[in-house]
Amino acid sequence: MLSLKNISKYYQIGGNKSFVLNNVSLEVEEGEFVSIMGPSGSGKSTLLNIIGMLDEPSEGYHYFAGNAVHQLKEKQRAALYKQYVGFVFQAYHLIDELTVYENIETPLIYQNYSGSDRKAIVADMLDRFQIVGKKDLFPAQLSGGQQQLVGIARALITKPKLILADEPTGNLNSKQGIEIMELFAKLNKEDKVTIIQVTHSEKNAGYGSRIINLLDGKIDSSIKL
Amino acid sequence: MFKINIKLAIRNLFKNKLYSTINIIGLSTASAFCILVYLYIVNEQSFDSFHKDGSQLFRVEQTDIFGSASRLNKPNKSFFSFLDKDAGQLNMIQTPTVLALDLKSNFPEIENAIRITGLGAEIIRAENKSFKEKENNLVYADGDFFKVFNYPLITGNANSVLSGRNQAAISERLALKYFGTVNAVGKTFTMPNQTNLPPTTVSGVFKNFPLNSSFQYDMIVPFESNPDYKDNLARGTDSFSDLLIVKLKKGTDYFKFSQKLKTFSWKYFSNVVKVMNKNQPDKKYAKMDMYLRPFADAHYNQSAGWDHFTDLSSIYQLAGIAGIILFIACLNYILLSLTNTVARSQDVGIRKTIGSGKFNIIFQYYTETQLLACASVLLGLLMAIICLPVFNSISNTNIQITTFSLGSIFIGLIILSMVLGLLAGIYPALAMAGLKPLSSMRSFSTYRVSPLLSKFLVVLQFSICTILIISTLTINKQLLFMDSADLGFNKDQVLILQSPYGWQDKKAPKILKERLYNYSLTDPGIQDFTSVSIYYGGYNNNAFLINNNKVYLQALDVDYNYFNFLKIPIIKGRNFSKELGTDTIKINTESIRTAKTFSLASRAVIVNETLYNLLGKPKLNEMNLQMGGPIVGVCKDYHAEDLTKKIEPAYHTVERYAPFSYWVKIKGGTNLPAEIERIHANWNKLTNSAPFDYTFLDQEVAKNYEAYQRWLKTITAACFVAIIIACLGLFGLSGLATLNRTKEIGIRKVLGASISNLFLLLNKSTIMLITLSFLIAIPFSWLLVNEWLENFAYKIKPTPELFIVAGIIAVVTALGAVSYHTIKAAVANPVKSLRSE
Q: What is the pLDDT of residue B450?
A: 56
Query: Looking at the predicted structure, is the pLDDT value of residue B646 above 60?
Result: yes
The CA distance from A34 to A195, in Å, is 6
Give percent above pLDDT 90 in chain A: 42
Cβ of B750 within 8 Å of Cβ of A110? The answer is no
When scoring A11, A47, A54 by the number of chain B Cβ atoms within 10 A, the one with the most, hence best to mutate, is A54
Domains of chain A: 29-57+73-224 (3.40.50.300)
What pLDDT is recorded for position B195?
A: 55
Q: Is B714 helix (H, G, I), strand (E, B) or coil?
A: helix
Q: Which long-range contacts (CB under 8 A, 24 or more apart) does B348-357 make?
A: B348/B432, B348/B433, B348/B435, B348/B437, B348/B440, B349/B435, B349/B437, B349/B438, B349/B439, B349/B440, B349/B441, B350/B441, B352/B435, B352/B437, B352/B440, B353/B437, B353/B441
Q: Which DSSP helix (H) or strand (E) runs through A4?
A: strand A2-13
Cβ pair A95:B753 closer than 8 A: no
Residues B353-370 have a mean pLDDT of 81
pLDDT-based confidence at B75, cuts 50/70/90? very low
Spell out which residues of chain B touch residue A81, defining contact as CB-CB under 8 Å. Answer: 752
Indicate yes or no: CB of B751 within 8 angstroms of CB of A154: yes
Instruction: Examine the pLDDT at B354 and tell me if it is beyond 80.
Output: no
Residues A171, B720: Cα–Cα separation, whole Å? 53
Chain Cα centroid distance, residue A168: 9
The whole-number pLDDT of residue B227 equals 81
List, in order, residues 6 or more apart from B544 with CB less than 8 Å away: B550, B551, B552, B553, B597, B598, B600
Q: Which residue of A has its CA nearest to B743?
A: A93
In whole angstroms, give the CA distance from residue B23 to residue B460: 18
* B834 part of contact set with chain A, CB < 8 Å: yes
Residue of chain B whose Cα is closest to the Cα of A98: B744
Kindly provide the b/e burial profile for residues B82-121, where b requires at least 16 CB atoms within 10 angstroms of the residue's own CB.
eebeebbbbbbbbbbbbbbeebeeebebbbbbbbbbbbeb
B115 φψ region: left (φ > 0), alpha (ψ -120 to 50), beta (else): beta
- Give pLDDT, residue B217: 92
Residues 6+ apart with CB under 8 A from B164: B203, B222
Q: What is the pLDDT at residue B444? A: 44
Is B746 an interface residue toward A (CB < 8 Å)? Answer: yes
User: What residue type is assigned to position B280 of the chain?
Assistant: Q
Does A110 sit within 8 Å of B757, measured CB to CB? yes
Q: Is the pLDDT of residue B389 over 70?
A: yes
* Identity of the amino acid at B232: N
* Band of residue B197 on the pLDDT scale cut at 50, 70, 90: low
Are B746 and A89 within 8 A, CB to CB?
Answer: no
- How many CB atoms within 10 Å of residue B18? 11
Mean pLDDT of chain B: 82
Say how far apart CA B685 and CA B308 lie, in whole Å.
Answer: 38
In one letter, which amino acid is A151?
A: G
What amino acid is encoded at B707 in this protein? A
Which chain A residues are closer than 8 Å to B754 by Cβ? 78, 110
- Cβ contacts of B275 within 8 Å, gap of 6 or more: none
pLDDT at B200: 87
* B754/A110 Cβ within 8 A: yes
Residue B834 has a pLDDT of 73
Residue B648, pLDDT score: 82
Closest chain B C-alpha to A189 CA, distance in angstroms? 24
Task: Say what the ipTM of the complex is.
Answer: 0.81
Proportion of chain B above pLDDT 70, given as a percent: 89
Distance of alpha carbon B124 from alpha carbon B170, whole angstroms: 12
Residue of A nearest to B745 (CA): A95
Beta strands in B721-775 (DSSP E): none
Residue pLDDT, tens place only, B405-442: 788 888 888 999 999 898 888 888 887 777 766 555 44
Q: Report how far residue A170's alpha carbon sits from residue A9's, in angstroms, rounded to the nearest whole number.
A: 25
pLDDT at B643 over 60: yes
Compute the average pLDDT of residues B669-692. Answer: 85
- Name the most confidently modeled range: B293-297, B332-336, B547-551: B293-297
Q: What is the pLDDT of residues B649-661, one digit of tens each?
A: 888 888 888 888 8
Total Cβ atoms within 10 A of residue B135: 12
Point out the residue among B748, B752, B830 whose CB comes nearest to the CB of A111: B752
B548–chain A Cβ distance below 8 A for any pair: no
- Judging contacts by C-beta atoms under 8 Å, the chain A residues touching residue B757 are 110
Under an 8 A CB cutoff, do B750 and A87 touch? yes
Per residue in B774-821, pLDDT tens?
999 999 999 989 988 888 888 888 888 889 999 999 888 888 888 888
**Residues B239-255, mean pLDDT to the nearest whole number:** 88
User: Per-residue confidence of chain A (225 residues) as pLDDT tens digits?
Assistant: 899 999 999 988 888 888 899 999 999 999 999 999 999 888 888 899 899 888 889 999 999 988 898 898 888 888 888 889 898 988 888 888 889 999 999 888 888 889 899 999 999 999 988 899 999 999 989 988 899 989 999 998 988 999 999 888 888 888 888 988 999 999 999 989 999 999 988 899 999 999 999 998 899 999 988
**Cα–Cα distance measured from residue B573 to residue B278, given in angstroms and rounded to the nearest whole number:** 36
Cα–Cα dist B194/B199, whole Å: 10
B752:A170 CB<8 A: no
The whole-angstrom distance between A27's CA and the closest CA on chain B is 23
Determine the Cα–Cα distance for residues A160 and A147; give it in Å rounded to an integer: 20
Q: Is the pLDDT of residue B280 over 90?
A: no
CB contact under 8 A, B830 and A170: no
For the stretch B40-51, pLDDT in tens is 888 888 888 888
| Closest by Cβ to B836, choosing from A90, A96, A154 | A90
Closest CA in chain B for residue A54? B831
Q: Are B673 and B504 in contact (CB under 8 A)?
A: no
Q: In what order do the strands lie in the sheet with B526-532?
A: B526-532, B661-666, B494-498, B694-696
CB contact under 8 A, A107 and B746: no
pLDDT tens across B694-737, in order? 888 888 888 778 778 887 888 888 888 888 888 888 887 787 77
